[in-house]
Amino acid sequence: MITRATILPGDAASPVVLHVPYCPPMSTEFTPQALLDGSLDTVADRIAKNARTQAARRPHVVLNRLPNYVEDAVPNAMTGERRRGHTMLCGHHAATIPADPYVTLVRRIVEERVAATTRVTVVEIRTASTPAATDDPRRITVAVDPDLTPRSLADAASAAFAGYDVDETTEPATTWPVPSTCGDASAIEAIAIDIHTGANTVIAPSAVVRLGRTFAALADRLIDDGLREN
């Protein structure tokens, strides 16, 4: 059975959610059975899990388990309405639809964090294919959302990746609509971090650990900053 998401709970007092919105595109290892078995993995998945274990106070982790490239997941034998129905289940495209169950799940977690800690900071971890990338990715793009990313959050992210080649872009930082049930909109912050990897490059385990350590440090700093503000 297809598993829509994996949720790894963090510390009860943590407002930080690491969100991996994408699953991998077609690769030589991809098969429909791998999708059904829930055995697909991504660089971003491994980094998020690593960050969770290295953080002093564990952030919450949400991993999208369906592929971003819908044609990879839908058997060619499916046609017409049946094919379109299955396509709707697959990947990031469905996350723009407010009624999609995955959107509902992410929004519920956001609401729970606001209810528990009065605020939430969502850090989306994404991979971007770069032809010149190596097994040790060093280029990072910080995606700043004009509505959801305060300058302090963007600066904290850039500082966390000080040892990398960091650039900043302005774009929506989330793949889900912000819930209106959280009251004060300033209680919700979000930022996206793009890690530039090669399309067919195997990332070294040491690079995953190092990136995980960096995200863990960022999560801990965001918790500390929030405690000082409160």
% of the chain residues with pLDDT over 70: 63
Evaluate if residue 153 carries a pLDDT over 60.
Answer: yes
% of the chain residues with pLDDT over 90: 40
The secondary element (H helix, E strand) that includes residue 42 is none
Total-model pTM: 0.79
- Return the top range by mean pLDDT from 78-87, 158-167, 198-207: 158-167
Q: Are 188 and 107 in contact (CB under 8 A)?
A: no
The average confidence (pLDDT) of the chain is 75
**The pair of three-digit structure tokens given for residue 75, joined into one six-digit string:** 């058997």
Model confidence band, residue 202 (pLDDT cutoffs 50, 70, 90): confident
Chain segment 59-98, per-residue pLDDT in tens:
999 988 765 444 444 444 444 433 333 333 333 333 445 5
Least confident of 6-20, 28-42, 163-177, 186-200: 28-42
Query: Which 8-state DSSP code applies to residue 96?
Result: G
Cα end-to-end distance, the chain, whole Å: 44
**The pair of three-digit structure tokens given for residue 94, joined into one six-digit string:** 């469905």
Distances (CA, A) of 219 to 45, 61, 122, 162, 184: 16, 11, 10, 15, 22
Fold exhibited by the domain 5-229:
Aminopeptidase (3.40.630)
Chain segment 31-55, per-residue pLDDT in tens:
554 444 443 447 888 999 999 999 9
The residue behind tokens 């990746």 is 161
Chain segment 120-132, per-residue pLDDT in tens:
999 999 887 676 6
